[in-house]
Amino acid sequence: MIMPNARPIALITAHGQPSAPKSPEAALARLAARVQDLLPDWQIRSATLSTPGRFESELTPGTVIYPFFMARGWFVGKVLPSRIGDIPHQMACPFGLDPALPALVASALDHEVAQRGWTGQTYDLLLAAHGSARGPKAAEAAEVFAKVLRPLLPCARITLGFVEQDPTIEAAARILTDRALCLPFFAQAGDHSRTDVPQSLIAAGIHDTPLNVTGALPGTAALIARALQACAGAAGTR
């Protein structure tokens, strides 16, 4: 647990890109720097799981670990605990499961809709998510998110498509109208968001560029900062 009067330490961790770890590592470090600006009394660190040894080198006893993941799936439920081992820590809520995330996304999409001149008009929103062949957690997280998001965006017809399971992004995109947005439901930009999602849209006849990934939307650093404070506060009351 965090020692009283000690400067809290947080470690923001993400999957990264095993084939090319440097760019996601640098992007995560930039996000950590923005969180650091919001929490000057903390020490904010970052490490992807794809850079060999980095996570272990940044992890110290008492750290609040922030999973920059969209679900409590394979990596958060299995891989991360095995990397942590017996080191005492606090685990914050994963990014994609934060109850504040739907409102953050709704605000960003309202702004995008206004920029396109669609305010008050019905439009399609395709959430392009990862899914998983290993279990249902990733898809369930996306489905719950979509359910909570729907009343916040009453003009949006929200559908889901997945990289690794049905319905695929291509299949989901085939029913989109001319007024449509595609939001990649990912924490970090990578091969899926830069290649798989656009290629799936093109295969469906959609040539509009997807939006930035969910984890790159405005307000993400502030959401993480609040989650870290909440986790540390909950630990302090136990």
The yes-or-no verdict on residue 135 having pLDDT over 80 is no
Residues 112 and 207 in one domain: yes
Residues 90 and 119 in one domain: no
The yes-or-no verdict on residue 203 having pLDDT over 50 is yes
Residues 224 and 201 in one domain: no
Beta bridge partners of 106: none
Q: What is the pLDDT of residue 237?
A: 42
Phi-psi region of 81 (alpha: psi -120 to 50; beta: other; left: phi over 0): alpha
Residues 105 and 64 in one domain: no
The yes-or-no verdict on residue 68 having pLDDT over 80 is yes
Number of domains in the chain: 2
The closest of 127, 109, 126 to 118, measured between CA atoms, is 109
Higher pLDDT, 135 or 139: 139
What lies within 8 Å, CB to CB, of 117 at 6+ separation is none
Residues 109 and 199 in one domain: yes
Compute CA distances 159 → 149, 185, 223, whole Å. Answer: 11, 12, 25
Q: Picking from 24-38, 124-138, 171-185, which range would have the lowest pLDDT averaged per residue?
A: 124-138
Q: How far is CA 195 from the centre of its chain?
A: 18
Is 139 strand, coil or helix?
helix
Contact 215, 234 (CB under 8 A): no
Confidence of residue 134 (pLDDT cuts 50, 70, 90): confident
Q: What is the pLDDT of residue 235?
A: 64
Its pTM stands at 0.93
Contact 71, 17 (CB under 8 A): no
The yes-or-no verdict on residue 117 having pLDDT over 70 is yes
pLDDT in tens, 84-112: 999 999 999 999 999 999 999 999 999 99
pLDDT in tens, 15-54: 998 889 999 999 999 999 999 999 999 999 999 999 999 9
Residues 15 and 77 in one domain: yes
Residues 225 and 209 in one domain: no
The yes-or-no verdict on residue 3 having pLDDT over 50 is no
The yes-or-no verdict on residue 217 having pLDDT over 90 is yes
Amino acid at 73: G
pLDDT in tens, 182-192: 999 999 998 88
Residues 85 and 114 in one domain: no
Any idea what the CATH number is for the domain that residue 43 is in?
3.40.50.1400
Residues 203 and 174 in one domain: yes
Is 1 part of a structural domain of the chain?
no
- Structure-token match 């850079």, residue found: 51
Q: What is the pLDDT of residue 236?
A: 53
Separation between Cα atoms, residue 107 and residue 111, nearest integer Å: 6
| CA torsion angle 150 151 153 154 (round to 10) | 110
Residues 144 and 129 in one domain: yes
Containing domain of residue 125, as a range?
A: 101-216
